Amino acid sequence: MKKGWLLMIIVLLLCGCEKDKSVVSYITTDKGLVSINYPVTNINVLDDKISAYVNRTYFEFKNMKSDKTPELNISYTYKEINSEVINVSLKSEIITDKTINKIKTFTYNKSNDKFLTMEDVVDDLGGLDYEIKKELLEKYQDADMDYLSNVSYDYFTIDDENLTLYFNPAEIKSKHDELIYLDIPLDSLKLLIDIDKQADNDTYLSIKKRNVSLDDKVVALTFDDGPSKYTDKILNILKKYNACGTFFLIGNKVEFYSDVLKRMLEEGSEIGNHSYDHKLLTRLSKEDFQEEINKTQEAIKKVTGFTPTLFRPTYGGYTNVLKSYTDLKFVLWDVDSRDWQVKSKDKILNNILPNVKSGSIVLMHDNHKYALDALEDILVNLKEQGYKFVTVSELLELKKLRESE
């Protein structure tokens, strides 16, 4: 009975009571490094399967023992293939004394309440079977041919150009730790469903500049781990007080909240890069680190036309070597709200207000409601103290001017 209640608590913790289509974001350092992001679609049967997978993976992680700080990353892709068909993939990476990568995908047809298989998507899959296995063996030469002969095509995603097949490493007895995949160009396939291709985005937005003098008291409010269902409400409050923020975004959420990104820039806030999957960057190779950065840059530019120049490292962890791998400016903070930990408006205010000075960069998060609850009081109090609110880029520019005097 206790196990059943514990599972229900975790489900509620991770899923919450969602009403609108949104992304659940659960990021913590309480018990290891945990970054979980996944979509809530408002399709009950699909959401149940997604949350069940997330919970199984989370429990698997919590029961593992490790000599080093354990890390769990769950990220997603979400694609509306057409007006009826949705494709969701969930990638999980568990790092303990070894690394485990897994993937789970769901392709759901709203019109007939059916989960689609590859046979529902691709005509004459049998005819492709030989070519797929041949390519797998060429790409992963350590694969076991006996295992490969019985391999299934359960996990797949679709974008505007490719059908991507995924295979968990154990499935073909490969010694690779990373997920195994093949991209098959859509123009080489006869598909049984229509693909709605996204039109190119020609909207180019830039940040509105504020009039700030060298003598002004300034502070930059920053928000990590979004966007989320709370970000619009944060923007409402910023707009009410003629203030702005700098939002360090997780790349895999960008397309889901494209309208929110456009609003950020239109109303004078700034967008920064916070990696694509919120992994601990100091464990990544140069290539993997650059992929985390570049995928986020591309996602933001695709939606807004704006290219970020700022980067905030996940968990605040970085090295000078990592900094040398990108031209982006690394940005930390000097005032930490610890909103994710204290979960109290009064405690957040106490962590921020006594510690702000001119030139401060304040760390908050917009993937939960704690910072939202405290934001109006923060703005009112700092305005009464004579502070002006600027983006991080404006603050850094002002700092340079002051130093050059």
Q: CA 280 to CA 316: how far, in whole Å?
A: 9
Rounded Cα distance between 15 and 53, Å, is: 12
Between 14 and 107, the more confident residue is 107
Q: Please, are residues 226 and 251 in contact by the beta-carbon 8 Å criterion? A: no
pTM of the model as a whole: 0.86
Q: What are the residue boundaries of the structural domains of the chain, listed by start?
A: 1-107, 117-192, 217-404
Residue 121 — very low, low, confident or very high, per pLDDT cuts 50/70/90?
A: very high
Which CATH architecture best describes the domain 217-404?
Alpha-Beta Barrel (3.20)
* Catalytic choice (274, 278, 365, 368): 365
Confidence at residue 1, expressed as pLDDT on a 0 to 100 scale? 38
Mean pLDDT within 233-259: 96
Q: What percent of the chain has pLDDT over 90?
A: 72
Greater pLDDT, 124 or 35:
35
Q: Give the 3-state secondary structure of residue 249.
A: strand
Query: How high is the mean pLDDT of the chain?
Result: 89
Among candidate residues 150, 151, 146, 141, the one with its CA nearest the CA of residue 174: 141
Cα–Cα nearest to 105, from 186, 196, 39, 190: 39
Contacting residues for 177 by C-beta, under 8 A, at least 6 apart: 98, 99, 100, 101, 169
pLDDT of residue 208: 67
Specify whether 365 is catalytic: yes
- The average pLDDT across 96-108 equals 92
CATH topology of domain 1-107: Heat Shock Protein 90 (3.30.565)
Mean pLDDT score, 222-243: 97
- Count the neighbouring beta carbons within 10 Å of the beta carbon of residue 343: 13
Angle at 163 between CA 182 and CA 191, to 5 degrees: 135
Q: What is the pLDDT of residue 11?
A: 45
The strand pair at 180-185 and 360-365 is best described as unpaired
| 321-360 confidence digits (pLDDT tens) | 999 999 999 999 999 999 999 999 999 999 999 999 999 9
Question: Regarding predicted confidence, which is higher, 52 or 211?
Answer: 52
What's 104-159 look like in SS3?
A: EEEEEECCCCEECCHHHHECCHHHHHHHHHHHHHHHCCCCCHHHHCCCCCCEEEEC
CATH for the stretch 117-192: 3.90.640
Q: Read off φ and ψ for residue 127, nearest 5 degrees.
A: -70, -25
Neighbours of 340 (CB within 10 A): 21
Closest by Cα among 278, 209, 215 to 244: 209
Contact 360, 335 (CB under 8 A): yes
- pLDDT above 80 (res 120): yes
Mean pLDDT of 243-258: 96
pLDDT at 14 over 80: no
CB 227 within 8 A of CB 25: no
Upstream peptide bond of 354 is cis (omega within 30 degrees of 0): no
**Cβ-based neighbour number of residue 360 at 10 Å:** 19
Report which secondary-structure segment, H or E, holds 184: strand 180-185
Is 224 one of the catalytic residues? yes
Query: Which of 224, 225, 339, 366 is an active site residue?
Result: 224
CB-based contact 157:118 (threshold 8 Å): no
Query: For residue 188, is pLDDT > 50?
Result: yes
Residue 126 has a pLDDT of 81
Tell whether the model's pLDDT for residue 391 goes beyond 80: yes
